[in-house]
Structure 1
Amino acid sequence: MPRIQVESVAPATLGAAADLLSRFFREEGFGTPPDRVLKNAGRLAADPHHWIGLAWLEAAPVGVVTVTTALYVEWGRLGEIGDLYVVPERRRQGVARALLEAAERRCAGLGCSSLSVVVTRDGEARHGLHAFYARQGFVGDGRQVLTRPLR
């Protein structure tokens, strides 16, 4: 089996990461325009407290993960998986696991006390994400995310 390589997104690979993220958003029905994806991915990749990992298999980009961090009084720095996407033809080959392991290493290097992921109802219904993330060692902590738009 070919070896999966995960690397930090650099200026030369930002376009490939943004293309995968745009593909992910289209497949999931989000209306985020590709130019906004590219702009925000560039901002995230340039910020030392956040990270984008790009997975390569046979010299082709096949998956992407985005990680943001936040600093809290109670827990210190926490990492959060914002997006995790693997092209359909490369799923069930260990790409997502490699991206999650790389995200965990990156968060540990940033001093994070934990790594979390938000699973939406749609994500659960379409992909069974609770079971997937449970197999990767993620557990629920009883908190629920509530959001108030600012615009």
Structure 2
Amino acid sequence: MSASEVQPPQSYRKEEVQEILHLAIARKTEVEELSRTQLWEIAAELDIDADVLQVAENDWLLQKQRQEKKDEFNQYRQGQLKRKVIRYAIINSFAMVLNFLAAGNLSWSLYILLFLGLPLTLDTFKTFQTEGEEYEQAFQQWYLKKEIKASISSVWNRIKTAWGS
């Protein structure tokens, strides 16, 4: 069936309109970016109220900012996991070498390997679980700690500059 044989419907749902307009704008522009002025012109052509566009733009900026913070949090968690894996490897390597030198085979060191492996497995699962209430709580705690540290650092810097003057 060719494109000319397809009959468009008489009405579209909101999501369908968004998808069609997204495709049309993507095909219309050769460049990857549109200026803010062009955004406002497109909105005016679509008869979108300036206040509605302003609220939508602010919501988008907040969502983008939040996603950047979540990406930073995910990198932090992965860094923490990497340190735990390195510590796990060092401890177990030492235990296995010690066990092999003492007994000539691996016996009790395997129990340490398994015993320490369970928490590491759970931490790995938690690190790559990026949805749900537990993740959101961990993110909020991390973000709060980060904000508190930034505030304390700012106050400390003000005190240092006040005393230094």
Q: Whose helix fraction is larger, Structure 1's or Structure 2's?
A: 2
TM-score (norm 2): 0.19
Larger Rg: 2
TM-score by length of 1: 0.20
More strand by share: 1
